[in-house]
Amino acid sequence: MKRAQHLLLIAGALAPLLTVSCGSSSGSPSPTCTNGTMVAAEANNYGFKSSIKLHPVTVKSMSDLTFDWGGVTKDFLGHAVDPVKDLNSIFVLLVNLPVAQLETQLDNDTFSQASIQITPPPLFSPTGQTSGSMFENFTVGGETIDLTTAGPYLDAATYTPANSTFAIVAQTGPNLGSNIRMLQQFQLDDSSTNTMVTLTNSSTTLTYTADLHSAHPTGVPAGTAALTLDWSQIPTNALGNPFDATSITSAIVGHYTQSLSELEGQFLDLQTIAQDLYTAPTPYGTTLDFTTLMDSAGNPFTGVTSDGTWLVGLICGMCQNPAPWYLTVLAPVPQPCAAAAPSK
């Protein structure tokens, strides 16, 4: 899975004192009760694992390659794509990593731009076209490409699968690396005669598991928009990496008719299957003020209800993996919460 300013409300030293575990008569994790001032914690965060795979084609080295993305009707998340309207930034990626290492880094969001061999990458911004030639349509920094300039990077002896990965990338929008829809890996081979690279719905495949059952839900007062979520204290994100609080670019709050099990199976569609979906940008600070949340019609968030399932998620908009860094179930609980030992 490509923002109004929120108020900076720091929970501070009082927040841990307002977080206690409510009792539960079932075997499921009990809610972590709050008075509406929430502090993101690992005990409340969901679990996520994914595996992204790039499937190579072999092409002739030292040749003018043609790329065709007209057959892409679904992105690697399974979402519908119009190849003419949606795929409007096409670029060639060359990284100094074997494909298995690149796949791992894309999975766990550790891929670094320092691995990119050509910056800026060869780029084509089509206006209605669904194919393009590297030497005819692509440019690097606004300059056209020919064999003289591209030749050193198209040498099969230098850029081998053991030390490099090539891919043609199709995305929506001009901010390269954001909202990628499909990638097709290709490998140079002196013995090949193929000069066509075709992107398909299966050029990149993604499998994943999401666990919404194991974490403690976060208890909040019912029917109030005066909630806050502070993520400045959580050490790791759902992918197991250090939580860089400044990387969160937006937040979502969704109200769903589906059960947790059903949502786990449709996890990457959370923003399209919600009965009610509220969003807010988080360009500054590390706290979400829920009163800044609005749905697509401009209606404000009015509070959590007892029907259906409520989730709040924190999104890293510039990350390669589309999974939220933090996502917790919101459960309405009586106020004041019944005191108990804090969740671990």
pLDDT of residue 340: 40
Per the CB < 8 A criterion, the answer to whether 93 and 167 are in contact is: yes
25: pLDDT strictly greater than 50: no
Q: How confident is the model at residue 4 (pLDDT cuts 50, 70, 90)?
A: very low
Q: How confident is the model at residue 18 (pLDDT cuts 50, 70, 90)?
A: very low
The mean pLDDT of 181-200, rounded to a whole number, is: 97
Extents of the domains making up the chain = 12-46+212-332, 50-206
Helices (H), the chain: 99-108, 134-137, 147-150, 260-265, 270-273
The CA dihedral of 174, 277, 239, 104, to the nearest 10 degrees, is: -40
pLDDT of residue 338: 56
Give the angle 216-336-9 at the CA atoms, nearest 5°: 75
Name the phi and psi angles at 69, rounded to 5: -120, 15
